Structure 1
Amino acid sequence: MVPRAVAGLLLTALGTFAFVVQADAAVEGDGLAAFDPRLTANFVAHRTDVLSFFARAITFVGQVPVLTALTVVVAALIRLRTHRWRPAVVIAAGMAGAAILTYVLKVLIGRHRPAAHLVIGTIDTGFSFPSGHSLSGTVFFGLLAGLLWYTGVSRAWKIAGTALAVVLSIAMGLSRVYLGYHWATDVLAGWTVAVTWLCLLATVVHLLSSWRADPSGSRARGELTP
């Protein structure tokens, strides 16, 4: 139990360090951030009607009202399905933390978005770094995949669910660059913070579960008990 917690904390520290490096590059315009204009130009040059349709669809899911509604629905369904509050609280707390991190980090970094003429859709005048869609979307899909591993479904379904979460998270981030709302390093930072936050959340949940573990060490099959 302890090694898992230590590993989780180490990954959290590593993710935090990686974000700091990325943030410094974004502010200074060097490092990976120096490639942002070229990457954005490449995305714009390869736009098609079909790709634009799918990009708008996935980015719609990442909007705050949509993710909030999905979080409430999923938390309610989990509560009704398992008759337990803890899994529902985990996903609610995870998404609330993602929202807070997005707001605070955007304000602290204060990076501006790509030029408005590059955007497909409504112009967003908020700060750019990190990408809120990438951060919150990855946390949401990651939490669903994580909770799936505490159910009684087959291992194949668990792996498939995890793979789908990764694909959707990547698609969400790429759609933000494609549509002109974010620089590529905004998205990379969003993924970094999301994974770091998930590692920290998983570590806390693991420690709490260990402290409150049933003496028999048993777990009801099919019951979400993170």
Structure 2
Amino acid sequence: MLKHERFRRILDELQRHGQVQLATLSTALDVSEDTIRRDIDELARKGALTRIRGGALLPSPIPNAYQAREQHDAAAKQEIAQKALALVSEGQLIILDGGTTAGWLARQLPGTGKLTVATHSLPAAMTLLDHPNIEVRMAGGRVHAQYRVNLGLETVDFFRQLLADACFIGTYGLHPEAGLTVADPEEAAVKRAIVNASKHVVALVTPEKLGTAASYIVCEAGRIDTLITAGSVPEADLAPYRALGVRVL
């Protein structure tokens, strides 16, 4: 079988099942696992899939630029942000990450009741400056113009010094096996620091991101305490997270 034919078959299987395994493809296409591994590596470089150990997943469908992400699936993000408000209590120290769903949560935080919010998101910090009872703690670092966040060692060190009651963290993809993933290694490092700095980890995930993955791992799916999503997600898609002990809202 020619390479382009194998590529088509691999992508067809991925669209049908959301995930493919090296061993299964090797048998189905009658080629070695090494050949399938090289095919998957090449398709991953083209952005057609995300490589994981033993196979591949659908790639995250999310655009990179902040402004495009902010409006992408905005209704679902606003619904998720509204649900997340129930997990915020007066007097808490919470962390909002640089994701656009956390940005929608910043807009919806009530103006009454004292709260401390730590963030590396420039849009979230600017939004919260209008809240008289919210103290904003801004992480330093190198400004990433496209993502509208601060990144780098200084940002990571800022979060390492905190112990927050909860963090609200976005993602490019969430999968029971691959975990919570993003597209940039520096962003992954900052998000890992946020997770480690939090007593309660809340993942804000639109339905289209469930079952997908990007290139860089933030944490295992089981490290999440609460998963908040939107709409009517089939229980079969949520059951693997519940099995890991994750509360789903």
Given the two structures, how large is their TM-score scaled by the length of structure 2? 0.27
Task: Report which of the two has the higher share of helix.
Answer: 1
Given the two structures, how large is their TM-score scaled by the length of structure 1? 0.29
Task: Report which of the two has the higher share of strand.
Answer: 2
Higher relative contact order (CA 8 A, sep 6+): 1
